[in-house]
Amino acid sequence: MQIITDRRFGYFVMRKIGNVSNYRSKNPKICEVQFSSTNRYQLSIHSTNDQDERYLLVMKGAPEKILKNCSTIYVDGCEIEFNKYWKKRYEEAFTELSNHGERVLAFADYRLPLNKYPRGYEFDCDTINFHVNPYFEYFNFPTNGLRFLGLISLIDPPRVNVGEAVKKCRSAGIRLLMITGDHPLTAAAIARYTGIITDHSTTELLF
* Burial class of 172 by CB neighbour count within 10 A (0 to 12, 13 to 18, 19+): exposed
pLDDT at 132: 45
Residue 53 pLDDT > 90:
yes
Higher pLDDT, 137 or 157: 157
Q: What is the mean pLDDT of the chain?
A: 80
Give, rounded to a whole angstrom, the gap between the first and last alpha carbons of the chain.
28
**Selection from 73, 76, 100, 97 nearest residue 87 by Cα:** 73
Q: Name the domain count of the chain.
A: 2
Domain carrying residue 80: 4-155
Lowest mean pLDDT among 34-43, 132-141, 187-196: 132-141
Q: What is the CATH number for 47?
A: 3.40.1110.10
Q: How confident is the model at residue 206 (pLDDT cuts 50, 70, 90)?
A: low
Of 155, 177, 193, the position where a domain reaches its end is 155
- Give 59-111 pLDDT, tens digit per residue: 999 898 899 999 999 999 999 999 999 999 998 998 888 777 778 889 999 99
Distance CA 103, CA 105 (A): 7
- Give 166-195 pLDDT, tens digit per residue: 778 878 877 777 766 676 766 676 676 666
The angle subtended at Cα 190 by Cα 108 and Cα 84, nearest 5°, is 35
* pTM score of the predicted model: 0.71
Are 151 and 164 within one domain? no
Q: Is the dihedral of CA 46, 50, 53, 59 positive or negative?
A: negative
Are 173 and 123 within one domain? no
Lowest mean pLDDT among 41-50, 123-132, 196-205: 196-205
Are 49 and 61 within one domain? yes
Q: What percent of the chain has pLDDT over 70?
A: 73
Are 130 and 32 within one domain? yes
Q: How confident is the model at residue 1 (pLDDT cuts 50, 70, 90)?
A: very low
Distance CA 147, CA 72 (A): 5
